[in-house]
Structure 1
Amino acid sequence: MDKKDNYLFYSLIAIGIVLRFISPFEIPFTHDEFSALFRTYYDNFSDLIAKGVIETDVHPAGVQVFIHYYVMLFGRSELIVKLPFIFFGIGTLILVYIIGKKWFNPFTGLLAVAYCASIQYTIIFSQMARPYISGLFFALAMVYYWDKIVFKPEDKFFKHSALFVLFSAICAYNHHFSLLFAAIVGLTGLFFINKKFYVKYLISGAMIFVLYIPHLSIFFHQLNIGGVGNWLPKPTYNFFLEYVMYIFHFSYFALIPALFISLLSFINPLKEKFFRNKYWIIAVLWFLTPLTIGFLYSYYVNPVIQYSGLLFSFPFFFLVIFGNIKNYNFPIKFITLITIVGINIFTLVVNRNHYQVFYNSFFKDALVQNDKNYREFGNQEYTGIIESFEDITNHYLKTLNLDSTFTWYSNFPNKKAFLEFVRDSGKGNLSFSFLHGSAHTMVPGIMEYYPQVLERRDYDGGTSYFFAKNKLVNKSIRNDIIISNDFENTLNSGFGQALENLTDIVSYSGKQSFFMASEQEWGPTLEIALDSVIFGQYDCFDVSFRLYQNYIKQGLLVVQLKSEDTLIYWGASEVNEFPVTNNWSKVYHSIKFSDIDTKGLKNIKLSAFIWNKYQNEFFIDDFQVHIREGNPIIYGLHKKIKNELF
């Protein structure tokens, strides 16, 4: 290694270490890490495999077994558990450089290390005790020895073959996608190895299979389960572009230098035999094949593809785009690398807000805030409601000695029971902390009784609201009415209604309401073009009306989104899901816009109407559509964050 390249390499390693060890005692456990930890309390190995892997997991047993025995020896604190994986992350940087330098040249290796050291993709998985960065480390170690036995088989074949077999088997026990990558690597060798060593190479492959035999029953059991399709959506063709943008922090500021350098690599006049470079072809195959297989399986069979599972072949992406760059002199290398690392760190901290978003755990902070609120306001003036996981909650209540006076969201059998509890609580303040699922639909109902939003705390994967009946401070949380009909006028923009349906028999506000006869199946309809409305990607649409409950027992508020003639969303709320106060109820339906795939769609229109499905007679009033400001970082660790600068 050239001495100056040596300085650059060790500087990049130092940067990678610093970025992974910033505030190390503040790095929280994720949900998946908690899941693994809670499956380490078994008394024997048989129970660990049967109950800790087969019954409850979709990953191979390797990392779960490692964590089980590791925490027995070293403890369960966050940093202690994560430490081996942080070291795996640092080790991958070394292996990336070794492979990049050997296959191409030192500058290619340095460029790959610069990115792997400073992007969120590799940093965050180095900070998680899950089978991702470990799989990348062992995959690269496998490739290192694969290269030796395939292209220099005459040099210590048995030693290198034994290590290749070992690391391949570890990949198989680590993760199904690292198993897939190991299989791809092994098959690739059949096309390149010297025929004299063909049989020995096949024996090496057979030895890997023999080592994996004890795990076959687990593999086939998990294969029959099919994956994580019960919560992971089927990917769209936008997945590939989104993956690339995720790598570069969803930032053109970070993407442009990589595009420029890759352009230099592709037009390098010294590479006349560009497509004959076996290592470049191998890198292309190794990066694209797992990505393609994962996408096709997820699209046509069962969704399994995630960024985490693609990590094992990810460094070869940089070897593809930088593989044919010239080995420039030191000043050019230095300026290029410091520019890349500087931009990546800036976008990591400012655009992606990594250390704030990742380190601020919903599971922990929701309980800390509840404890603070309870101590400040007391049981007479404060109600806390939390949706979370009971075992994680109990962990933090115990380790942080927090007050456990709150109500579990899961205690309520339905929306009506929840809203009746909120209505009848009779206290001045209420907090509601919830996960990223459907609980957000309760917010408009809470605001019926606690109209003041004093604070909203946003997290990746969750949100907390603090409400008050009376306004205490000026806090601006957007909740705008974009269209409303109080039925005081004959016609309102966006609504279809007839003059004869207006009545002054009863009304919620003003003097009139809208009467629907039993023979009328469809009530007033709202239709509004979304391109005429200013709203954010993570905002929510709340459609509501007031219903006079003396007359109706069943009916539906229907909300749908259409792009021209294509229906992209349909949802409905039953009118009897909502509590009645003084004969009136507020019926509403909420849409979290970020959960709807609208990419590439044009002329999207929102329609809302009342479906008198059961032929009742009833009165309605105050038909409205609100835009409610949503959580901009609800998926902040994996998707673009609202208002990123570059």
Structure 2
Amino acid sequence: MNVKDLLSGFEPGNKKHFRLLTGIILLVAAILRLTELGFSYSNDELSALVRVRFDTFSDLVDHGFYVDGHPGGIQVFLYYWVKLFGMAEWAVRLPFALGGVLAVYFTIRLFTRWFGEITGLLTGACVAFLEFPLLYSQIARPYGAGLLFSMMMAWYWTRLLFDEKPRKLFAAAFALSAAACMYTHYFSFLLALIIGITGLFFLKRDRILYYISAGTGAALLFSPHIYITLNHLSIGGVGLWLTKPENGWLWTHFRYIFNDSPVLILMTTIIVLSSLWFGRKVLKINRFHLLSFLFFILPFLTGFFYSRFVNPVLQHSVLIFSFPFLVALLFSFAGNFPARFSGVLILSVLMLGTAQTIIGNRYFAKQHFGEFRGIAVAIDKWNRQYGDRNITRAISINNPWYLDFYLDQTKGGRTTFGQYDNRGGLQLDSLAMLLDSCKTSYFIYAWTKPVPAETEDMVRARFPCVSEKADFGGLAAATLYSRGNTCKTPKADTLFKAVFDPEDHAVAGISTMDSREYSKGFDGRLSEIIKDRSGNLTASVEAFADSGIEGAVLVVSFHDESGETIHWLGAPAKLFVSKGRWSNVRLSFTLPEIITPDCRMKLFFWNPKQEKLKIRNLSITSEH
């Protein structure tokens, strides 16, 4: 039996054909998941690894996952795994990648049982190549493992309820896999609960004892974790940073499942419509269609309404456990395809989908998460090249150990930072103090999570030259700034510069703002000064004050024809001005789509408290 024979016609029920196609799909799944496992740990992975460095199991529980918000199953596994195999990326991720391959296998088995071999193989092929399950099978987090346990749990649930005779083996396997779901993630726990309750409506008399025993066994296995779960329910969790989902979130998730690819969505649509056409005379909706719909939609609805009315928890990753049910539902009538086309169809879907993920979506070339190894390598390189003592460093990172883990692997080892976090507010004030007090020729600023928009302007106001930069897909970056004139700063064109005259209380171009709220500036149509929207715009002004200032702001605003404000930007002068010397205040921005050339633009220096200060060189430049 070979692929050529298979292409000539797939025979449903032919075990050799089915095994060959299953083997090909699993091979593709394995190659994809085992390729390049050594990329930099993500923030979430490092968060897990920093919480396994305990000497005792009780410390692991108390400090590793009691306070985390996730069930402890994966944390316990990592605790023992890294003791045996170390913390190298490939070694830590290997069991998760292999689990991802097994998830494809159980997906094929499950939906072959529910809807037939073609549906099972098509669904398994999608789980093999789609970026969503592939990515989460390549990181040491609960999602890929939870997908495996969810498919196992649904498979053994099916065998226990719908086989001709109940078996203790299937009851035990259902209990264990359900418990594994409960220990892995609360959304896989939710799916296990939904499936378990649903099974009560399909119970036959001869398997009531098996089913109740399996459910009781799963509950007993989870019982030691109950007090931890109760604590997790009291924690704010991701709702502290995750936003509430919009009404169109489900469509966004559907696109995300299919790689945000019009090609894959079109391919899926053609298969769905074709299968309905071929089976138009024999179409039947059975219980597994209803179950597929319920097992996908109920976790979504639970997460959606909980996020809208209680605490935001809904994100793409938490629906990975239930998404195969949606894919299987879409392909549930694929068994109506003529047998002579089926083998070609399955292999074509597998090849096209794999090509789209690798080539179209550039899966192995793009940055998926924030970078830590690359940041450490760049900082170590600059420290050794320019001299550790000649550089002041600051970084925004959730935990210093995340970077130290990789700095320990560099030639120069660990280094010091003047700031480790930047969430705005007082931390921006601290950054300003660090910048004003440092005497070094260079300054490094790195971030592995979003930082306030003012941050780069604050640094460049004191260190105007960008000497070197390491950017990681906009998800992390490290930049070396210098005070000198030789740098890689983009070319800047001056678009507008205010001319202060005696009427503006100005002498030699210096305007005194002591008793004035607004400075002279620009007030006109955007098209008068800006012809090209592609550049990065920077408003700037030099300010001088003998003492600290609080309320003054450099302002850029945009207005419609009626004078209503469309967009307003401001740079607080206190973050830039060091008393007793001229200081540069910067405000960098790009033009949002809502801003048209006909919009009215204003540029001015606002001094609401009429503090004693002077300004000069108010301008707008465009960097290319």
Aligned residue among 375, 381, 391 for 2:401: 391
Cα deviations by residue, 1:265-296 (Å, 9 ceiling, x for unpaired) = 3444346444x221112111111111121111
**Secondary structure of 2:227's aligned partner:** helix
Mapped partners of 2:120, 2:599: distance in 1: 47
Question: Pairwise mapping of residues 157-306 of structure 1 onto structure 2 (< 5 A)?
Answer: 157-194=167-204, 197-198=207-208, 201-270=211-280, 272-274=282-284, 276-306=285-315
Matched, 1:83 2:81: no
Equivalence for 1:132: 143
How far has the Cα of 1:18 moved from its partner? 0.9
Cα deviations by residue, 1:55-107 (Å, 9 ceiling, x for unpaired) = 3x110111111211222233322222111111110001101111121111222
Q: Which amino acid aligns with 2:174?
A: F
Mapped partners of 1:120, 1:606: distance in 2: 43
Asked whether the 8 Å contact 2:52–2:60 carries over to 1, the reply is: yes
Change (3 A) 1:296 1:467: same
Mapped partners of 1:203, 1:225: distance in 2: 32
Equivalence for 1:502: 504
Equivalence for 1:639: none
Q: Which amino acid aligns with 2:319?
A: L
Mapped partners of 1:451, 1:367: distance in 2: 23
Change (3 A) 1:36 1:410: closer
Asked whether the 8 Å contact 1:527–1:608 carries over to 2, the reply is: no
**Secondary structure of 1:27's aligned partner:** coil
**Secondary structure of 2:333's aligned partner:** coil
How far has the Cα of 1:385 moved from its partner? 3.9
How far has the Cα of 1:308 moved from its partner? 1.5
Asked whether the 8 Å contact 2:408–2:414 carries over to 1, the reply is: no
**Secondary structure of 1:132's aligned partner:** helix
Equivalence for 2:10: none
How far has the Cα of 1:227 moved from its partner? 2.3
Mapped partners of 1:592, 1:249: distance in 2: 28
How far has the Cα of 1:503 moved from its partner? 4.0
Equivalence for 1:323: 332
Change (3 A) 1:476 1:95: farther
Mapped partners of 2:353, 2:486: distance in 1: 42
How far has the Cα of 1:360 moved from its partner? 8.7
Aligned residue among 43, 52, 60 for 1:31: 43
Mapped partners of 1:133, 1:427: distance in 2: 46
Asked whether the 8 Å contact 1:562–1:568 carries over to 2, the reply is: yes
Q: Higher mean Cα deviation, 286-295 or 463-472?
A: 463-472
Asked whether the 8 Å contact 2:539–2:588 carries over to 1, the reply is: yes
Identity of aligned residues (%): 26
Change (3 A) 1:135 1:569: farther
Aligned residue among 600, 613, 630 for 2:608: 613
Structure 2 residues without counterparts, runs of 5 or longer: 1-12
Mapped partners of 2:582, 2:277: distance in 1: 72
Q: Which amino acid aligns with 1:555?
A: G
How far has the Cα of 1:108 moved from its partner? 1.4
Equivalence for 1:19: 32
Equivalence for 2:105: 94
Aligned residue among 370, 377, 382 for 1:368: 377
**Secondary structure of 1:410's aligned partner:** coil
How far has the Cα of 1:611 moved from its partner? 4.3
Mapped partners of 1:104, 1:289: distance in 2: 21
Q: Which amino acid aligns with 1:233?
A: T
Asked whether the 8 Å contact 1:435–1:462 carries over to 2, the reply is: yes
How far has the Cα of 1:256 moved from its partner? 1.8
Matched, 1:459 2:472: yes
Aligned residue among 522, 546, 549 for 1:553: 549
Equivalence for 1:65: 76
How far has the Cα of 1:53 moved from its partner? 1.2
- The size of the alignment, in residue pairs, is 602
How far has the Cα of 1:614 moved from its partner? 1.9
Cα deviations by residue, 1:149-189 (Å, 9 ceiling, x for unpaired) = 2223x513433222212211111111100011111111221
Mapped partners of 2:551, 2:522: distance in 1: 15
Structure 1 residues without counterparts, runs of 5 or longer: 489-498, 630-646
Aligned residue among 119, 123, 128 for 1:108: 119
Aligned residue among 362, 373, 387 for 1:378: 387
RMSD: 3.8
Output the TM-score relative to the length of structure 2: 0.84
Asked whether the 8 Å contact 2:307–2:313 carries over to 1, the reply is: yes
Asked whether the 8 Å contact 1:27–1:359 carries over to 2, the reply is: no
Change (3 A) 1:213 1:423: closer
Mapped partners of 1:107, 1:188: distance in 2: 26
**Secondary structure of 1:586's aligned partner:** strand
Change (3 A) 1:383 1:262: same
Equivalence for 1:402: 412
Equivalence for 2:159: 148
